[in-house]
Amino acid sequence: MRDIYVRGTGMTDFGLQLDSTLKGLTASAIDDALTDAEVERADIDGIFFGNCLAGLVTGQEATRAPVTCIPAGFGEIPIHGIENACASGAGALHLAYLAIASGLHDTVLVVGAEKANHPDRQRSFAAYRAGLDVDEDVATTFQASEGAGTDRTMAVDRHALIARRMMAEHGFTAEDLARLAAVGYANAAANPHAHRRHGPGVEEILSDRVTVAPITRLMMCPISDGAAAVVVSADPGLEVGGCRVRIASSRVATRSRLDDPSGPSAIRSATRRAFADAGIGPKDLHFTEVHDASVAYLLLALSESGICAPTDQRDWIRDGVTALDGAFPVNASGGSLARGHAPGATGVAQVVEIVSQFRGRSGGRQIPGDPSVALACVAGGTIRFESAVGAAHVLVKQ
């Protein structure tokens, strides 16, 4: 199989951008990625476009990938749309990886973009709720089994349930959750693209409005608009920042069968296979960008990826392991919690951050030393309160 490289990256600001369009955000990220990669539009053999909410938020269905990307200066080449909730962009990168590995294409563009905000907030909320299995009476089932709230808060209920279980089983406190969130906010304060850059501390996070106990609003990601793009190629291009960035492995997996509830999660399956393909394990990583739609999801991602067992996570938090200057930095970008969560773009934004770190371009959030091995992983959608899809990419600096 051919080696596969990230040649260039581009990214818009993440945030509340009611005056921006999906086309405009996409075009901006594409322009920056092509410039960074020093390639022309004519060099691009295909586009893989990740988006999950446009149909319900903007009303654009059926042809959202070509309708969004052709105005950015493309035509004739294949433009593929990938929709898998928060893993849409990561899934687009996986398919691009396969296209290069197979020899079908030499250089492709991966774009993740989302226009998640709408003047009618209920339209945005309804789009997020659609990531659940609509054929299941999940609200009634969840309330009966877990004492959860109403359908309006159900999307948050799972985060709260995970947090409560960890607190009960492993001795976490609400202050521990706030400490973990504060690390992401501190990182995002140095990220010019971040949605939340004001850097709240532990007390502000704890005293913020409670969504579903013990989760406060600042322990949950904001609804963000934004786009991220990467040029992926069999040609490594010129060294940038003294290095090239290779995608050592890429995997996507789904949750276990419904008749096997004890089976592996989507993230666990995806990361295990990605590590095996790359010939490394979690202990070989120098840092990671993982899914953190909430602090509870962040803890779950660290556990399911094999990076940190639940029994060790409380000590990790209290010892500052996940901070930029800690033993294992997590979400130097600020993560979805603080950088922002534009679902279709999140998986690509993780890779943009990893490439930035490898190239030494991350400014005030630069990880000390010379990090050269990293994992990006994200989960998406929900089927019976488990993430439906997981995606994982191992990247190495060469």
In a domain, 27, yes or no: yes
What confidence score (pLDDT) does residue 149 get?
41
pLDDT band at 241 (very low <50, low <70, confident <90, very high): confident
What is the per-residue pLDDT across 193-215, written as a single tens digit (0 to 9) for each? Answer: 999 999 899 999 999 999 999 99
Task: Give the per-residue pLDDT at 159.
Answer: 86
Residue 377 lies in a domain: no
| Domain contains 247 | no
- Residue 152 reports pLDDT greater than 60: no
Residue 288 main-chain phi, psi, to 5 deg: -150, 155
Return phi, psi of residue 111, to 5°. Answer: -130, 135
Over residues 53-72, the pLDDT tens digits come to 999 999 999 999 999 999 99
pLDDT higher than 50, residue 376: yes
CA distance 179 to 322: 10
Q: What is the CA radius of gyration of the chain?
A: 19
CA angle 33-185-370, nearest 5°?
A: 55
Decide if 251 contacts 274 (C-beta within 8 A): yes
Mean predicted lDDT score pLDDT of the chain: 93
pLDDT of residue 259: 86
Does residue 273 form part of some domain?
A: no
Q: What is the pLDDT of residue 270?
A: 98
Q: What is the pLDDT, as a whole number, of residue 349?
A: 98
In this prediction, residues 44-48 reach a mean pLDDT of 98
51 within some domain: yes
H helices within the chain, ranges in order?
A: 22-37, 54-57, 64-69, 88-102, 121-129, 138-146, 154-170, 174-188, 202-207, 266-278, 295-304, 310-318, 335-338, 343-358
What CATH number is given to the structural domain containing 30?
A: 3.40.47.10
Q: What order do you get walking across the sheet with 107-114 strand by strand? A: 79-82, 46-50, 107-114, 226-233, 5-11, 245-254, 386-397, 373-383, 287-290
Tokens of 384: 């019976």
In a domain, 103, yes or no: yes
Is 99 a member of any domain? yes
Which pLDDT value is given to residue 275? 98
Average pLDDT over residues 378-395: 92
As a whole number of angstroms, the distance between CA 199 and CA 365 comes to 13
When divided into structural domains, the chain yields a total of 1
Q: Is residue 210 part of a domain?
A: no
The pTM of the full predicted model, rounded to 2 decimals, is 0.95
How sure is the predictor about 350, in pLDDT bands with cuts at 50, 70 and 90? very high
Print the domain residue range for 17: 5-120+224-232
DSSP-H helix ranges across 172-307: 174-188, 202-207, 266-278, 295-304
Phi-psi domain of 265 (left: phi exceeds 0; alpha: psi -120 through 50; beta: other): beta
Lowest model confidence (mean pLDDT) among 183-187, 224-228, 261-265, 314-318: 261-265
Residue 155 is predicted with a pLDDT of 57
pLDDT band with cut points at 50, 70 and 90 for residue 128: confident
The CA–CA distances, whole Å, from 171 to 112, 143, 176, 295, 303 equal: 38, 25, 10, 15, 16
Predicted confidence at residue 137, as pLDDT, reads 59
